[in-house]
Structure formats: C-alpha cells, structure tokens
A and B are shown apart, each in its own frame.
Chain A
C-alpha cells in the first residue's frame, strides 16, 4: 500500500497574528512558520501504518513557494520516503489544491491520501472533501482513530455529537484530527538523512492546473477587541443582564 500525505506550511500556532496595515492580509515577513499541526498528525499516522507493515511507501507533498520545501523535508525527517514540491506562489485556494492533488494522485496512484482536517491559516476545511469529490473516492474526515485492513479502513470520526465510526473502502481520503496521535520529533540524524531523500519539483502549470484565485479577498481585519468583563452580585442580576442586555437567553 502507498500513502500520499499532503502537508502545508503555515504561520506557527504560537505566533501572534498581525494584520497588515493596508488590510491586504496578515504579516508573514520574519514570522516563524511551521507545518500545519493536523498535517503532522497525518504524517505520523502514515508512518505508524508503515511501521506496522501495512504500507510500503509514504510520499509527502506540499504546494507553495520555495520555502514550503522545509515542510516536506520535515515530513521526510519523521518517516516519509519521498517528497513532492509543487511550486506555486500566492494564495492557492482549496479547489486548486484539490485539482493539483488529483493530478498527482493519478500519476502516483496511492491507495490512501491523508491530510490534516483543515489548515490553521485559512481554516477552510475543504480540500479533503473536494479531492474526494473530484476523484470520486470515499472520504473519512476528522479522523481520531484509523484501523487498516486489506480492502477497507475503519475510521473513528470526531463529530459534534461524539464519536462516529465508519468503514470506507480503499482507495480513500482521510482528514486527520489532532487527537489521532502524538506526532514524533524529528531526530538530528533523521534530519540529516532527510536531506538526501528524493524530492521531485514541479509546478502547477506542469500539471495543467490554473491556480488563479476564484475568490476575491476584499479585506482582512483584526477581530474586535474584547471588552473588559464586569462582576455581577447575584444570579438574578446575571439572568437579567443575559436576557435584557446581551439578549442571549
């Protein structure tokens, strides 16, 4: 079995996001970037499946500018065998990402495609679903547990009501939740070895995909500042305020 894992380079989750003064986006210059956290879970799960002898090869793919390659190298350092970097500058929307992934899937012919449930930068939560539609493959989203058998996967999903367990046939798309596993650290020797692992470079246009955005971004703003809270002296006052001032009950 072969697993393709998609990883994205995003602003590190510890960094305080700052909006550009002209409201055209957020500041990314000199800002610490990292792998999208649930993508780390996706890689970890693929590596675990390989370690259990149920997969032969893991291919990590990323789409983005030159520096996005770091994200693939990190995936290689924790156990992916091969990397693909599809070069694309600027914003690449989920539909374009899905089309690129589809083209790569048709070339690579993996049995499974893993990725994070959503990216923490645009919070779209669309790519996995769109890719499933484009490929007409089954999808298991928000996976918090994955069991692999020969022809199918049993996946526990984190849904609003609790946990839902489904079975999907292989080939399939799985989007991973943070509770799926605890990603391992890349060791120093493995980072060295990762530098020597094969990494294919291509562009979106090599694959015949137009990545021009279809959504016009009008402006990016900071959320309104939270007002200071007040102390209420009793429950009646609280209920009164919730009812008449906040109008939430």
Chain B
C-alpha cells in the first residue's frame, strides 16, 4: 500500500520538553530548516504529567530571556521539608542535611503541561510545524537499515481492523534525521533500542510509576512555594518510593506518589498505596476541607546512567526519557530532557551542514553538564535495593561526603518485569475502602483524567498470547495487571464460573506501566487512534 509522503529536514516524535527543546534549538541554529513535531495527544500538554519542581538550567541556555516571554514559570520554591513517615508519626529531616541534589531553593513549582504549551508557542513562532492528534505509529527504514522517518496512525478503523466510512490513511514523514522524544517507554523508542541493540552492555532499564492529583485546599493551609517530600509509610522497607506535595499558585497543591516498578509483591497496588498515603495524619490535615480536581499517572525512568542506552543510530536520535535522562535523586527529568534535546539539535546541525556523523552526539553528551549530573547521581537508586534505611545511609555518604564521586558504579541487576515473586509466597495486602473525601476508587479517578478513545477501534493494548493472563499469570501472580494499572483497564471477570481477562482499553491513560511490569512481557502498548487518551489540563 502506498501512502502519501511528506518530506522534512527533521521530524520529531513527541511535543514534550525534549522534543520541543530540540526543535527550538535547531531553529535557532538554522532558521531555514523544515521541522515538524508530531504529538499523539489532542493538544500539547494533554498527555504530560510531572511533579513538577523545575530547574531552569537548560531553559536559561535555550531561551535566556524566558522571564520576558510570559512563561508559566512563576512560583519560586520558598521552603522545603522532608518527612519520614511512620504509620501515624512523622519525623522531619533537617533540610541542611539533605544532599545538594535534593535542595530546591533556586527552582520553581510549575505545571509541565503548561510549560510545554508555552514552549510549543515559542517553537511555532520560530516556524516549527506542530501536529497534535497525530501519533507516530510506525518506523520507516531505508534499504540500508537506517531510519528514514515514521508513519502516522491510520484513522477510522473498526475493532477488527476494517475501514470505516471515515477511514483516513496514515502518511509517511521522511526526514534527514528523525528524533524520538516519546517520553518514558516510548513504543517506537523500544523498537529502536531492540533493533539497533542500543542497550548492549547497559544495565536493564528501571522504571517507576508516578501518580499525581491536584487539589484545591483551604487558604489557611496553603503555603505557596512550599515543597515537601516524604519517604517511608505506607511502603515497606523493601519497596522504593516516596511522595511529593508542592504548594503551587491559586491555592492548588500538586500531590503525588512514585513507586519503583521493581516491587516484588504481586498483591501490591500502587494506586491504593497512593490513596492510603493520603490518610496519614500529616497529609490528611492538609487535604481536609479541600477538593481533588485532577488525577493522572505515568511511568517514569529511574535507571540513570547505567541503563541509559546509546542515543544515536543511523538516521535517528533518542532524546529525553525515550532514552532515559531523568535524574533520580534529584527527582527531576525536565531540565535533563531539554538539555538532551539541545545537544541533539547541535548534533543534527553539524550532521546536516557539515555532514558529521550522528555519533558525535555521544561526545557532545559526555562533555555536557548533563553527563556530569547523571554520573554523580548514578549510585543512588541502585543502593535502595538494600532497603530504605541502608539506601539512605549510603546515599548520604555518596552524595554528601563524596558528592557522587565514589570510584565504583552500582549495577541494576533485574528488569522490572522480573522482580515479582509468586503470589502464594507473598503476603496479601488489605487496602482500606475509599471514603470519597480524601481517598477515591479508580472509577472516579479515571473520570477526572478526561480520557477517551473513539469506540470501536482496534484495541491498542496487544497481548502476544491472549491465553497467558488466565492460563499462567492469574495462577502464578494473581494477575497483577488488575492492580498495577492505575485506571483499572485490566480486569479478571468471572463468566459462567470461568475467569475471563478483560481489557477496558478506552480507559487507558497511556502510562505504559503494563508494557513494563507484565511479568512475561505479554502486553505491548501501541498507539491508539489520534487524539485518544487523557485530556490533562495543568498536570
């Protein structure tokens, strides 16, 4: 089947911080380049979810006059707290004893979605063409195996793959260089990493699942600029995770929870851990009298430098968390994503104007502050395999005394889908029922995401073996998809007294957790029809 073809100098997949920074930097270097960005969300920002305490280092370099450009970066961090939570008690950790990477006094509390919308405007004013609602669904290769470009998703197929009256064929976008900026666990990035063996010699990538709710709270409890993090309860010593509470503008707080997807107990439900966390006295008192206005979840990268794949290949580059540039101890990935995009732009500029190989990306990366930052951070996450307490002690030594310069590198030994223990060997967890005031169920939560996928389209969560969930995973792991999915896409229903695996793909919020955590890697996330998925406002 021949599809319509459009030619560009550079095609970028994904209008997040890395993709937009790539485009802006490229246009600054060479204004006559033809650049297009595809975004699967119905508008820029609608699929972005992040804490977010923003470090401006990359933006200061990219748009030094950002303060004059009506940017949505307004709330400066004024105060910081770090709490260790016990079941009912909390212990405040003095801020001066926090490693430097966890100090935020120069940073801002922002909505990353709004930052991306604004970066999108900056890019468009430089002449970048941005197309929201068009997922890149397929990679196009040249005969020599190099990346030629991508194809957009066909629109208007029914669930059996037949063309409806509204069918609109996808088109091919060819480029001199294609930049993949899909974010954590991008489905095309995953294909490229495998095809070009970009992760050869690297540790397996590590992931987390992050939840976020936006609350409007009572004025007297709101402290604009306050940044608070917690560790400890409700997670046990072996499970990696923690919370954030950021007091943003307009009496809003950004409240969230991150759990490492290397958890071992298949009975654990990350969603319910997050809900339960909110019932802790020190959190509950902030929320009481307030109102939850948004909910969302997204997988994030935690592997750091050890797991970072090679970011260049013939005809294409990986940027941001499509590769994995998040700085875990800093709990920040936006400035690193942007910087990786800016380095990619310089690489592409040299490639197009001086015919330099894309492999110079690696040298440029290694000479940048981004590399230094990730190198200093590399030992923090893996040390938590010894548990929370030893992890913290090690991190203190590594980050405060040696400033990340210890002469060895800890390894990640397992991929997250390998860490689950059989269900009958692990304790069941009873989660309290939601009270619909502070804690909620998945149904009322998914409603707030505004997610939707046109009915009667092919299911975009593909099972390699459709029988495996019931024949194997249910028995061995009590089908953990029922619990790790943050919106209840996966259910095991009993039909005629037989269990049946149900996929409610309409509810999917594109977090990619199933693609990561499914113990047999049996679930593959692919792009649904354009414009589908959540409609986040200011996440």
B166 and A183 within 8 A (CB): yes
A192 contacts across to B, CB distance below 8 A: 6, 129
Report whether B171 and A30 are in contact in the complex, using a CB–CB cutoff of 8 Å: no
Q: Which residues of B contact A12 (CB under 8 A)?
A: 42, 450, 535
Most buried by B among A12, A18, A21, A185: A185
Q: If A16-B447, A16-B450 touch, does A185 touch B535 (CB 8 Å cutoff)?
A: no
State the Cβ distance, A83 to closest chain B Cβ, in Å: 19
Residues of A within 8 A of B537 (CB): 15, 29-32
CB-CB under 8 A from B45, the residues of chain A are 30
In the assembly, what is the distance between CA of A185 and CA of B168, in Å?
7
- Tell me whether B46 and A189 are in contact (CB under 8 A): no
Chain A residues closer than 8 Å to B152, beta-carbon distance: 188
**Is residue A244 contacting chain B, with contact meaning CB distance below 8 A?**
no
Chain B neighbourhood of A191, CB < 8 A: 131
B363 at the A/B interface (Cβ < 8 Å)?
no
A187 and B171 contact, CB distance less than 8 A: yes
What chain B residues lie within 8 Å of A16 (beta carbons)?
447-448, 450
Q: Which of B113, B155, B156 contacts A30 (CB 8 A)?
A: B113
B157-174, CB under 8 A of A: which get 1 and which 0?
000000011101101000
B12 to chain A minimum Cβ distance, whole angstroms, is 14
Mark B residues whose CB is within 8 Å of A: 4, 6, 42-43, 45-46, 111, 113-114, 117, 129, 131, 134, 152, 155-156, 164-166, 168-169, 171, 216, 293, 447-448, 450-452, 530, 535, 537-538
Identity of the chain A residue whose Cβ is nearest the Cβ of B152 in the assembled complex: A188
A182 interfacial contact with B, CB 8 Å: yes
A-B contact pairs, 16 of them (CB 8 A): A12-B42, A12-B535, A14-B451, A14-B452, A14-B535, A15-B450, A15-B537, A30-B537, A32-B537, A182-B164, A183-B166, A184-B166, A185-B168, A188-B152, A189-B6, A191-B131
**Alpha-carbon gap, A188 to B173, bound state (A):** 10
Contact string against B for A residues 6-19, beta-carbon threshold 8 Å, 1 for contact and 0 otherwise: 00000010111010
Interface of A is mostly: loop
> Which of A32, A185, A188 lies in contact with B43, CB distance below 8 A?
A32
Question: What 4 additional pairs, Cβ within 8 angstroms, besides A14-B535, A32-B535, A182-B166?
Answer: A29-B538, A30-B45, A30-B538, A191-B131
Expressed in whole angstroms, the Cα–Cα distance for A189 and B156 within the complex equals 17
CA distance A184 to B169 in the complex (A): 12
Sorting the interface of chain A by its residue count into under 10, 10 to 19, 20 to 34 or 35 or more gives 20 to 34
Question: Which residues of B lie under 8 Å from residue A31 when comparing CB positions?
Answer: 537
Nearest-neighbour CB distance to chain A for B171, whole angstroms, equals 6
Q: Are A184 and B168 in contact (CB under 8 A)?
A: yes
CA distance A208 to B414 in the complex (A): 71
A187 to B173, CA, bound (A): 13
- Residue of B with least CB distance to A191: B131
A12 to B452, CA, bound (A): 11
Asked whether B293 lies within 8 Å of A188 as measured between CB atoms, the reply is: no
Task: Name the B residues within 8 Å of A21 (CB-CB).
Answer: 216
Q: Which 3 A-B pairs have the closest CB atoms?
A: A185-B155, A185-B168, A14-B452
- Does more than half of chain B's interface fall in helix, strand or loop, or is it mixed? mixed
B117 A188 Cβ-Cβ under 8 A:
no
The reply to whether B450 and A14 form a contact with Cβ atoms under 8 Å apart is yes
Q: Which residues of B contact A18 (CB under 8 A)?
A: 293
Please provide the chain A residues from 124 to 148 with a CB less than 8 Å away from any CB of chain B in the complex.
Answer: none
Contacts of B448 in A (CB 8 A): 16
Measured CA separation A50–B277 after assembly (Å): 59
Tell me which residues across on chain A come within 8 A of B168, comparing CB atoms: 184-185, 187
- Contact indicator A32/B42 (Cβ below 8 Å): yes
Contact of A189 among B42, B111, B171 (CB under 8 A): B171
> Nearest Cβ distance between residue B151 and chain A, in whole angstroms?
11
Are A185 and B156 within 8 A (Cβ)? yes
Contact of B293 with A30 in the complex, beta carbons under 8 Å: no
Chain A, residues 183-215, CB within 8 Å of chain B (1/0): the string is: 111011101100000000000000000000000
Residue picked from B152, B168, B451, most chain A C-beta under 10 Å:
B168
The reply to whether A185 and B166 contact each other, CB–CB distance below 8 Å, is yes
The answer to whether A188 touches B166 (Cβ under 8 A) is no
A30 touching B117, Cβ below 8 Å = yes
**B-contact bits for A153-189, CB 8 A (1 contact / 0 none):** 0000000000000000000000000000011110111
Report the nearest A residue to B451, measured CB to CB: A14
CB distance from B447 to the nearest CB of A (A): 6
Enumerate chain A residues within 8 angstroms of B155, measured Cβ to Cβ.
185
Kindly provide the distance from the CB of B192 to the nearest chain A CB, expressed in whole angstroms.
22
Closest beta carbon of chain A to B162's beta carbon, Å: 14
Taking the closest CB of chain B, its distance from the CB of A145, in whole angstroms, is 15
Cβ of B88 to closest chain A Cβ, rounded Å: 30
Min CB gap A189→B, angstroms: 6
Evaluate contact between B43 and A182: CB separation under 8 angstroms.
no
> Smallest CB-CB separation from A184: which chain B residue?
B166
A29 CB contacts on chain B under 8 angstroms:
537-538
Chain B residues positioned under 8 Å from A30 (CB to CB) = 45, 111, 113-114, 117, 537-538
CA distance A18 to B250 in the complex (A): 15
With A and B bound together, what is the CA distance between A183 and B454 in angstroms? 13
Known contacts A16-B447, A21-B216; decide if A188 and B6 are in contact (CB<8 Å): yes
Output the nearest chain A residue to B168 by Cβ-Cβ distance: A185
* Interchain CA distance A185-B164 in the complex, whole Å: 11
Centre residue among B113, B535, B538 by max chain A CB count within 10 A: B535
**Complex contacts, B451 vs chain A, CB 8 Å:** 14
Question: Of all chain B residues, which has the CB nearest A190?
Answer: B168
B contact residues around A15 at 8 Å (CB): 450, 535, 537
CA distance A6 to B312 in the complex (A): 49
Pairwise interchain contact A189-B535, C-beta atoms closer than 8 A: no
